Amino acid sequence: MTTATANTPATHNALTTLFAAVQDAALLHSTANLLGWDQETMMPDGGAELRGRQLSQLARLAHEAFTAPKIGDLIAAAQEAVAGMPTDCADAVNVREIRRDYDKAVKLPASLVAEMALTASQAQHAWVVARRDSDFKKFQPWLEKIVKLNLQKAQCLGWPKGGEAWDALADYFEPALTAVEVTKVFEPLRARLQKLLDRIRGASKQPSNAFNEFALPVDSQEKFVRYMAKRIGFDFNCGRLDRSAHPFCGGSHCRDVRMTTRYSPTCVFDALGSTMHEAGHGMYEQGLDFAQAGLPMGSAAGLSVHESQSRMWENQVGRSMHFWKWARPQLSAFFGDACDHFTLVHLYQAANVVEPGFIRVESDEATYNMHVMIRFQLERDMLNGNVAIKDLPGVWNKMYKEYLGVTVPDDRRGCLQDVHWSMGMIGYFPTYTLGTLLAAQLFEKARKDVPGLEEGFNRGEFAPLLSWLRKNVHSEGRRYRLDELCRKVTGAPLSADPMMRHLEAKLLPLYGLE
Ligand code: ZN
């Protein structure tokens, strides 16, 4: 039998039979993921209608395969087989998590799963058109349908007493997360961030923003960000980088990771930030155990942990002075002498300038979480019926004024900017902030554990950080929940303190506020 925490393959007959059946069903999901990637990157417009049907069919087949009665019998037999094993050994974790997934999946009719997949594919296409034309009305009927289907899904799943529909949906992205818990984190965090933003707004010293408004050829930008992704550790033998309207990281398994980015002709940081972010997701996927592919021990812990990986590479690494000491001399290989008049300080300032804006994925570290809080509140309100879908643009714009003091100019830069709702994903957004908090907390610990970690960035040495993440996070699969993992690795529960320390240590000197 397996030892305490080794990821050795299952040897018991009941386990091997169950795991083979689950891996078989997961293959259908992984195939669907590739079609989803293709839809965002390569597919011609004409392919949209049939693609929806393809994805819907695969979702139905995967659901039927996973919820077949024989899987229930196999799980029961497997539970007996692991009864005497340590609860955190790989086999026991796989059985525990398969049971959890199964109990949820059997509550959903295959017809609803298929309809949601079809709707998501069609709605995504409608979203691209509506966003391009900056016209919410073109997306409104689709969002209405998505909210309705998500409510049906939540009703099927149910939620704990005192909870709400949002909780049932969020559980897919972050196990057991509830709106009440999110609010407990978000309310004090908003107050702390607001205080910091007020101080920054009143500062007399202003960092230079010039590099963020400096045109560089997109072809050269592409070569540059590809090089950066490779240097920080993304393995191009087991992954790709392409372009899409909304950067994301997907793919079919840890040896075939598909990430995307987008380019702004006037700001290389847009592509660099989103590429380092997606590469963080990609390296997490590549760090999962291939032998366990399709099983919980070969899957990511949840979206908050996923986001901690992307945000750490984007922020703690990519916006640091240490990183830019190494990165600045690299610019000439891609842009010639075009950037020579920008000093190291200019680049560091541009990477960290705080400026409340409309677009979440382009926002700075101090305002980022405000964007997330707005989305959390709105998706909760849409589900609970407190905001009618037709009123979304107006309510969105009002909240941007209130939280960030900005006037949203149009729907494209307002409520149409994110792809998530069009993909049917409601309950997802708070994982961005929880992941951002975890990133700061993990990084503080990595810095203690690995002497000279950041000084290594000065020389382009990122492998020590990646190895630390592989050992402490990637190899654990779904063994621990978010808070358990956080306590186990850092010795403390998840807290906003490390992120606030990170922001204040960087931004107060930058704005002359010390
Ligand atoms: Zn992300």
Indicate if 418 and 371 belong to the same structural domain: yes
Indicate if 321 and 439 belong to the same structural domain: yes
What the block records as the tokens of 96 is: 């525990």
How many CB atoms neighbour CB 232 within 10 A?
22
For residues 174-203, average pLDDT: 96
What pLDDT digit, counting tens, does each position of 435-470 carry? 999 999 999 999 999 999 999 999 999 999 999 999
Cα of 10 vs centre of ligand 1, distance in Å, is: 32
Indicate if 380 and 412 belong to the same structural domain: yes
| Beta-bridge partner residues of 240 | 258
Q: Would you say residue 170 lies in a domain?
A: no
CA 29 – CA 62 distance, rounded (Å): 6
Q: Which of 249-253, 277-281, 362-366, 386-390 has the lowest mean pLDDT?
A: 249-253
Report how far apart the first and last C-alpha atoms of the chain are (Å, whole number): 58
Cα of 306 vs centre of ligand 1, distance in Å, is: 7
End position of a domain, from candidates 126, 158, 190: 158
CA 109 – CA 409 distance, rounded (Å): 42
Nearest to 500 by CA among 70, 146, 189: 189
Q: Which pLDDT value is given to residue 272?
A: 97
Q: Name the DSSP class of 250.
A: E
Angle at 325 between CA 321 and CA 327, to 5 degrees: 105
Pairing mode, if any, of strands 239-243 and 256-261? parallel
Q: Which pLDDT value is given to residue 310?
A: 97
For residues 328-340, average pLDDT: 97
Indicate if 146 and 184 belong to the same structural domain: no
Cα of 459 vs centre of ligand 1, distance in Å, is: 26
Indicate if 309 and 237 belong to the same structural domain: yes
For residues 106-114, average pLDDT: 95
pLDDT at 148 over 50: yes
Please say if 278 is a catalytic residue.
yes
Q: Would you say residue 252 lies in a domain?
A: yes
Q: Which pLDDT value is given to residue 251?
A: 86
For residues 470-481, average pLDDT: 97
Domain that includes residue 327, residue range: 179-510
CA 430 – CA 32 distance, rounded (Å): 25
Cα of 278 vs centre of ligand 1, distance in Å, is: 6
pLDDT at 274 over 60: yes
Contact 153, 172 (CB under 8 A): no
Q: Which pLDDT value is given to residue 10?
A: 63
Q: Would you say residue 199 lies in a domain?
A: yes
Collapsed DSSP state (helix, strand, coil) of residue 253: strand
Q: Which element (helix H / strand E) includes 256?
A: strand 256-261
Q: Which pLDDT value is given to residue 449?
A: 98
Cα of 22 vs centre of ligand 1, distance in Å, is: 27
**Confidence at 9, pLDDT banded by 50, 70, 90:** low
Burial class (CB in 10 A: 0-12, 13-18, 19+), 355: middle
Output helix, strand, coil percentages for the chain, rounded to the nearest 5: 65, 5, 30
Cα of 322 vs centre of ligand 1, distance in Å, is: 23
Indicate if 62 and 131 belong to the same structural domain: yes
Q: Would you say residue 339 lies in a domain?
A: yes
Indicate if 308 and 258 belong to the same structural domain: yes
Cα of 471 vs centre of ligand 1, distance in Å, is: 21
CA 166 – CA 496 distance, rounded (Å): 23
Q: Which pLDDT value is given to residue 5?
A: 43
Contact 317, 454 (CB under 8 A): no
Cα of 301 vs centre of ligand 1, distance in Å, is: 14
Cα of 432 vs centre of ligand 1, distance in Å, is: 7
Q: Would you say residue 169 lies in a domain?
A: no
CA 198 – CA 93 distance, rounded (Å): 46
**Confidence at 3, pLDDT banded by 50, 70, 90:** very low
For residues 345-352, average pLDDT: 97
Q: Which pLDDT value is given to residue 295?
A: 98
Q: How far is CA 260 from CA 6, 104, 278, 362, in A?
A: 34, 31, 7, 15
Indicate if 95 and 223 belong to the same structural domain: no
Cα of 496 vs centre of ligand 1, distance in Å, is: 19
Contact 18, 95 (CB under 8 A): yes
Indicate if 224 and 292 belong to the same structural domain: yes
pLDDT at 2 over 70: no
pLDDT at 474 over 60: yes
Collapsed DSSP state (helix, strand, coil) of residue 488: helix
Average pLDDT, the chain: 95
Q: Would you say residue 174 lies in a domain?
A: no
**Confidence at 11, pLDDT banded by 50, 70, 90:** low
Helices assigned H by DSSP within 158-201: 165-170, 179-201
What the block records as the tokens of 478 is: 């779904």
pLDDT at 49 over 90: no
How many CB atoms neighbour CB 329 within 10 A?
11
CA 102 – CA 68 distance, rounded (Å): 10
Cα of 76 vs centre of ligand 1, distance in Å, is: 36
For residues 107-127, average pLDDT: 94
Cα of 436 vs centre of ligand 1, distance in Å, is: 10
> How many domains are contained in the chain?
2
Cα of 115 vs centre of ligand 1, distance in Å, is: 26
**Confidence at 252, pLDDT banded by 50, 70, 90:** confident
Indicate if 257 and 131 belong to the same structural domain: no
Indicate if 154 and 183 belong to the same structural domain: no
Angle at which helices 430-449 and 303-311 cross, to 10°: 60
From 40, 97, 174, 278, the catalytic residue: 278
How many percent of the chain have pLDDT more than 90? 94
CATH value at residue 231? 1.10.1370.30
Cα of 57 vs centre of ligand 1, distance in Å, is: 27
Q: Which pLDDT value is given to residue 4?
A: 41
The residues, any chain, with a CB within 8 Å of residue 503's CB and separated by 6 or more, are 196, 365, 366
Q: Which of 200-209, 466-475, 486-495 has the lowest mean pLDDT?
A: 200-209
pLDDT at 1 over 80: no
Indicate if 36 and 143 belong to the same structural domain: yes
Cα of 310 vs centre of ligand 1, distance in Å, is: 6
Q: Would you say residue 168 lies in a domain?
A: no
**Confidence at 267, pLDDT banded by 50, 70, 90:** very high
Q: Which pLDDT value is given to residue 6?
A: 44
